[in-house]
Structure 1
Amino acid sequence: MSANIMRGATAVVGVAEQHYKRGEAPHSEKRMTLEVILRACADAGINPREIDGFVSYAGGANDGAIIGGALLIDELRWSNMMWGGGGGSVAAAITNAATAIATGQAECVVVYRAMTQADTGRLGYAKYHYGSHFLAHGIGSPAQICAMRTQRMLEHGGVPRSAMRSLVLASYQHAQSNPTAQGYGRPLDEETYEDSRLIAEPFHLFDCSRESDGAVALVLVSAERAKTLRPDPAYLLAGAQGAPGGYSELIDNDLGEQYMTAGFGPANNGKPGVAERLWSAAGLGPDDVDVVQVYENFSGPAVAALIDHGLCPPGEAAGTFMTVENLTAPNGKLPINTSGGNLADSFINGLNLAVEAVRQIRGTSTNPVEGAKTSLFIGGPMAPLVSSVLFGHEDTL
């Protein structure tokens, strides 16, 4: 058992999300943020004025003071932003909120993210992660950067492309049971996947996440209070963030085999990386995970993230493990992205995946994994900073 003081100290008690086809949001990011926070508070059974902390990530104009003022909260005690990594820092934002509560800096913290094309444009062109050496050679989007790393994983690492295809097909299969998913009613078969146009080799159209307008919020409180609010809190068992040194630069300066990984592996000095620190803090390992929500900016990085966490074998064996049957709920060996994920449900910079991770602990997913006690959320892989959070049922404490 881990001696980590953070383990089980906090829990998610309220969640809410809303999403629309990109460019079709009826309201501003600020209004949608307020709406999902109010709904998340209702889900938790708390008064919104009790919120005293706010955490977001990847930028945004609506900081904690602005949102807290609009909600007429009683006091603001914690307001910060996870910088770096874009969607890679999404799970770190949840850990950040849990840290504030566990250390007494705040009592009720909301993690939130909102995106609309009208307010902030799209994320397709990377203006803040990549240096001029990329732009000078015509490389200016996350798809192109992740494609190069993924191609290395396929050619040098020996991972078959079928692993990527299976992840995509499993996501779309899950979406058919989720009426709010943007891929609902649009099943995807292998032939359609293979025939879709190339975006950046080896990524075809369906390998790429769909950006959405919308907003997401999660409400965290102490474990002690969580037990008084609802019978099914999702406890935070562990969280970790970071990246090997080369990942943290504006140029791809990764050492050796790191270039084809997702960034969750060991540090340049050999010390434990994000995945190993997560398992150590949780006192659990990959074999203890019941269900996974992995951020698929693109299918290749998601596969690499599963390998980094020890959930999928590397090399050719990844193709044997990564089958649609193994990846789908309720009976797969490791159900993945059970709402449809960023590929087939929605994409609010990945925070929507955290909501689904919580639903699996509650048993309220549209594709529930029966008896799920642990639910892993992996933030944006192959980003300059990556992060993961492991949620657990009360039985895991």
Structure 2
Amino acid sequence: MRCSHDTVYAHDLAHAIGVPQLTFWSDVGPGGVAPAAMVGQAVAAILSGQAETVVVFRELNGRSGRRYGLADAAGDRVGGAGTYDEFFLPYGLLTPGQVFAMLARRHMAEFGTEPEHLGHIALTCRERANANPAAQMHERTMTMDDYLGSRPIAEPLRLFDFCLETDGACAVVVTSTERARDLRRPPALIRAVAQASIPDPQPGMMYPILMRDSLTELPAAAVARTLWSRAGLGPGDVDVAQLYDCFTITVLLQLEDWGFCAKGEGGPFAASGNLGPGGSLPINTAGGHLSEGYVHGMNHVLEGVRQIRGTSTSQVPGAETCLVATTPLPPGSGLLLRSDG
């Protein structure tokens, strides 16, 4: 099970790990919205009898190869692609950072959100990375002054509001509960998975979100409604969360859209100590995309498993339920992991 954006195919991985014959494979896309959905489709394959065990993986050369934060090479072209992107790209709206900067600016104008609110999210992720030897920013501490003093990239977003660009790969193994209980390590049980979206007014992946009635709501709200209903749980049942953090503003919006605080209160919620160890909702405990590495949400799935197993470098004591939210853009997906206790 792979993402359609990746360059390693299922048969390539099967050969590398010694699988003589695949009985199931699938591609899911696009990019950062895929990981929880990939796990969900692995579950569906197992429940339908198409597979017994599925490897769900992501791999990308986000630093040495294609950088997802770069401008579109076809930005000087008008027409031909069949999407509404063509009415943005030729006029200078070229990068994801510019799009999410507009969402941040709107949130600031509508709710009074301050740069320091976003700074608390960046600092939370950096502190967790400092405890994680595998994180890119493991040895690089950061203060609020460092954050506020970092150069603007797409105002109001600064350098440390942006995720890293990473060469990396991650994988999880999905199998039946009965099989997992016989294995050497304790399983992280999949309580529920959901996929959803908000219909866009025009075709395209990213730029049409700027044409919605609200610029302060992500597809997370639609995914959340489905996931909570399927799981029979709610925001108050979550012990720890891994929230997609390509930018700090996506974390703030997801805090609101997943129901951890009211719309417009994400900034004060983040600034009140809720996101760190001992807070009401510890997030991104390996450092997240902002400070661990950017593997398009798949490293969030891995960290969710670690939290349930009790092996995280920033372990939340007694964590029994972990939310993994890969909901930065339409469509989106989410995953609830539970302990076997």
Please say whether Structure 1 and Structure 2 have the same fold, judged by a TM-score greater than 0.5: yes
- Asked whether 1:365 is paired with 2:322, we answer no
- Shift of the alpha carbon at 1:232? 2.0
- Asked whether 1:287 is paired with 2:236, we answer yes
Aligned to 1:34: none
- Asked whether 1:183 is paired with 2:143, we answer no
Please identify, of 144-153 and 360-369, the stretch whose mean Cα deviation from structure 2 is larger. 144-153
Cα deviation, 1:253-302, whole Å, max 9, x if unaligned, reads 65422x2212222xxxxxxx211001011110000000011111100011
Aligned to 1:10: none
Cα deviation, 1:239-264, whole Å, max 9, x if unaligned, reads 1122100178325265422x221222
Q: State how far apart, in whole Å, the 2-side matches of 1:248 and 1:289 are.
A: 35
Does the residue aligned with 1:229 lie in a helix, a strand or coil? Answer: coil
- Asked whether 1:355 is paired with 2:283, we answer no
Q: State how far apart, in whole Å, the 1-side matches of 2:189 and 2:289 are.
A: 23
Aligned to 2:340: 394
Aligned to 1:268: none
Cα deviation, 1:170-208, whole Å, max 9, x if unaligned, reads 111111211221111211111110010111111100000
- Shift of the alpha carbon at 1:99? 1.4
Contact 1:350 1:380 (C-alpha < 8 Å) held by counterparts: no
- Asked whether 1:322 is paired with 2:322, we answer no
Match for residue 122 of structure 1 among 57, 67, 74: 67
Aligned to 1:172: 126
Q: State how far apart, in whole Å, the 1-side matches of 2:306 and 2:163 are.
A: 21
Contact 2:325 2:333 (C-alpha < 8 Å) held by counterparts: yes
- Asked whether 1:106 is paired with 2:51, we answer yes
Match for residue 278 of structure 1 among 210, 227, 231: 227
- Shift of the alpha carbon at 1:161? 3.5
Contact 1:338 1:367 (C-alpha < 8 Å) held by counterparts: yes
- Shift of the alpha carbon at 1:353? 1.3
- Shift of the alpha carbon at 1:369? 0.4
Q: State how far apart, in whole Å, the 2-side matches of 1:247 and 1:362 are.
A: 42
Aligned to 1:46: none
Q: State how far apart, in whole Å, the 1-side matches of 2:271 and 2:291 are.
A: 17
Instruction: Report 1:105-254 matches (<5 A).
Output: 105-116=50-61, 120-125=65-70, 127=72, 131-230=85-184, 232-246=186-200, 249-250=203-204, 251-252=207-208, 254=211
- Shift of the alpha carbon at 1:344? 1.0
Cα deviation, 1:61-112, whole Å, max 9, x if unaligned, reads 322123223333143121111123x212221111111111122110110111
Aligned to 1:261: 217
- Asked whether 1:95 is paired with 2:40, we answer yes
- Asked whether 1:56 is paired with 2:10, we answer no
Which runs of 5 or more structure 1 residues have no equivalent in the other structure?
A: 1-54, 266-272
Q: State how far apart, in whole Å, the 2-side matches of 1:372 and 1:118 are.
A: 33
Q: State how far apart, in whole Å, the 1-side matches of 2:290 and 2:283 are.
A: 12
Please identify, of 174-183 and 334-343, the stretch whose mean Cα deviation from structure 2 is larger. 174-183
Letter in 2 for 1:358: V
Q: State how far apart, in whole Å, the 1-side matches of 2:274 and 2:155 are.
A: 26
CA gap of 1:201–1:217, structure 2 versus 1, over 3 A, is same
Contact 2:243 2:300 (C-alpha < 8 Å) held by counterparts: yes
Contact 2:3 2:58 (C-alpha < 8 Å) held by counterparts: yes
Q: State how far apart, in whole Å, the 2-side matches of 1:312 and 1:163 are.
A: 14
Contact 2:241 2:283 (C-alpha < 8 Å) held by counterparts: yes
Contact 1:164 1:207 (C-alpha < 8 Å) held by counterparts: yes
Counting matched residue pairs gives 329
Does the residue aligned with 2:220 lie in a helix, a strand or coil? Answer: coil
Q: State how far apart, in whole Å, the 1-side matches of 2:59 and 2:266 are.
A: 35
- Asked whether 1:308 is paired with 2:257, we answer yes
Does the residue aligned with 1:313 lie in a helix, a strand or coil? Answer: coil
- Shift of the alpha carbon at 1:356? 0.7
Large movers: runs of 4+ above 6 Å? none
State the TM-score, normalizing by the size of structure 2. Answer: 0.90
Aligned to 1:30: none
Contact 1:291 1:372 (C-alpha < 8 Å) held by counterparts: yes
CA gap of 1:62–1:131, structure 2 versus 1, over 3 A, is same
CA gap of 1:306–1:67, structure 2 versus 1, over 3 A, is same
- Shift of the alpha carbon at 1:117? 5.1
Does the residue aligned with 2:304 lie in a helix, a strand or coil? Answer: helix
Match for residue 18 of structure 2 among 68, 72, 80: 72
CA gap of 1:247–1:201, structure 2 versus 1, over 3 A, is farther
Letter in 1 for 2:213: G
Contact 1:171 1:340 (C-alpha < 8 Å) held by counterparts: yes
CA gap of 1:229–1:295, structure 2 versus 1, over 3 A, is same
Which runs of 5 or more structure 2 residues have no equivalent in the other structure?
A: 73-80
Contact 2:218 2:330 (C-alpha < 8 Å) held by counterparts: no
